[in-house]
Chains A and B, each alone.
Chain A
Amino acid sequence: MRITPTLSRFYTLIFAMMLPVATIAAPPTTSAYITDTQSSSVADQTAQGIGTVNMITCMMAAMRPDALVNQSDYIALVDESKCNASNRDSASNSGSSNAGSTAAQYTVAVVNSSRASNNDPMIGKIWLTEEEGGQAKTIFVHMAASAAPTTANPYGTFRVDYCGKDIGGGACMFNGFLDTSNSGLSFYDQSSQGGNNETTAMTLTVNGTTSGAGKMSIAQTGGGSPVNTTFTFAYNPNYFRRDDGVTDQCFSRDATDAGTGFSVWRYGLYDASSGDRITRNSGFPIDYTYAGTTYHGYLGYYGLWLPQSAMSTIATGSTVQKVTYSNGNATATAYTLVKAGGKLTRYTKGSKTLAGIDKIRFNFWAAANTGPAGLTGYAQGTSYEAYWDNTNLQFVITGYQSCGGNGCNIVSITAVPTTNAYWSSNYTYGLSGWSQALGGEVFIDTANLLSDGSNSAAVVVNYRTQDLVYPSEYASVGTLECITDCPTANGIAALLANSASTPFGATAGNYTPSTTLVDYTLDVTTGELLDTTATAVTTASTSLSGQYQYGIRSGKLFPLTQATTVDAADGAADGHYQAMSVDSLTVYYIWETGPNGWNQFSAAKDSGGNFVAFDPPLQLSFTVPAGAAYGAYAGQSIILQYNGFGDLFGIPGKCVSPVDNSDVSCNTANARYVAEFMIPFDQVTGVVSSGSTNYLVKWLDREIRLAQKPTGDCTTAGLTLPSGITLPTSAGLNDPSNAASAVYIGTQPTVTAAPRVIHGQVQY
Chain B
Amino acid sequence: MKTSRITCLRLPLLVLALASLLSGCSHSTGGASSSSGTVQGISTPGNVAVVTATNTN
Contact = CB atoms under 8 A, between A and B. Distances in A.
Q: Do A and B bind each other?
A: yes
A661 to B, nearest CB: 12
Interface string A32-48: 00000111111110111
Contacts of A116: 39
A82 B49 contact: no
Interface centre among A49, A57, A133 (most CB of B within 10 A): A57
Contact of B50 (A146, A233, A549): A233
B48 A178 contact: yes
Contact of A130 (B9, B17, B20, B30): B9
A510 B47 CA distance: 49
Nearest to B8: A130
Contact of A253 (B1, B15, B36, B54): B54
A714 interface: no
A171 interface: no
Contacts of A352: none
A42 B45 contact: no
B10 A62 contact: no
A44 B51 contact: yes
Given A54-B21, A86-B3, A88-B22, A70 B39 contact: yes
A254 B57 CA distance: 11
B46 A214 contact: no
A496 interface: no
A122 B42 contact: yes
A41 B12 CA distance: 24
Interface stretch (A19-27, A149-157, A524-532): A149-157
Interface of B: 1-56
Given A155-B48, A173-B5, A39 B11 contact: no
A239 to B, nearest CB: 10
Interface centre among B29, B30, B47, B50 (most CB of A within 10 A): B50
A50 B3 CA distance: 9
Contacts of B42: 66, 115, 121-122, 145-148, 156, 158
Interface string A81-93: 1111111110011
A47 B19 contact: no
B15 A96 contact: yes
A39 B22 CA distance: 10
A549 B13 contact: yes
A596 interface: yes
Interface centre among A85, A202, A214, A308 (most CB of B within 10 A): A85
The 9 closest A-B pairs by CB, nearest first: A41-B24, A47-B23, A66-B41, A132-B9, A82-B20, A150-B30, A69-B41, A154-B27, A61-B46
Contacts of A118: 32, 38-40
B12 A647 contact: no
A124 B33 CA distance: 15
Given A240-B51, A255-B54, A265-B22, A87 B44 contact: no
Nearest to A192: B5
B54 A85 contact: no
Given A40-B24, A52-B2, A647-B18, 7 more contacts: A50-B49, A61-B43, A87-B12, A131-B9, A164-B8, A646-B19, A706-B53
Interface residues of A, number: 120
Interface centre among A83, A118, A147, A185 (most CB of B within 10 A): A83
Nearest to A135: B9
A82 B37 contact: no
B19 A185 contact: no
A84 B31 contact: no
A117 interface: yes
A502 interface: no
Contacts of A647: 18-19
A185 B48 contact: yes
A381 B49 CA distance: 43
Nearest to B31: A148
A49 B28 CA distance: 23
Contacts of A237: 54
B43 to A, nearest CB: 5
Contact of A254 (B21, B50, B55): B55
Nearest to A116: B39
A67 B3 contact: no
B7 A149 contact: no
B20 to A, nearest CB: 4
A85 B12 CA distance: 12
Nearest to B41: A66
A212 B52 CA distance: 10
B10 to A, nearest CB: 5
Contact of B23 (A50, A122, A135, A233): A50
B43 A42 contact: no
Contacts of B54: 237-238, 253-255
Contacts of B34: 67
Interface string A73-87: 000000111111111
A649 B50 CA distance: 28
A98 B28 CA distance: 33
Given A68-B35, A146-B42, A191-B2, A85 B13 contact: no
Contacts of A407: 13, 15
B38 to A, nearest CB: 7
Contact of A51 (B2, B46, B56): B2
24 contacts: A40-B56, A43-B23, A46-B49, A52-B3, A55-B7, A67-B34, A85-B3, A86-B4, A88-B19, A101-B12, A101-B13, A121-B42, A143-B44, A145-B42, A149-B45, A150-B30, A154-B52, A158-B42, A255-B53, A255-B56, A265-B21, A550-B13, A646-B20, A701-B46
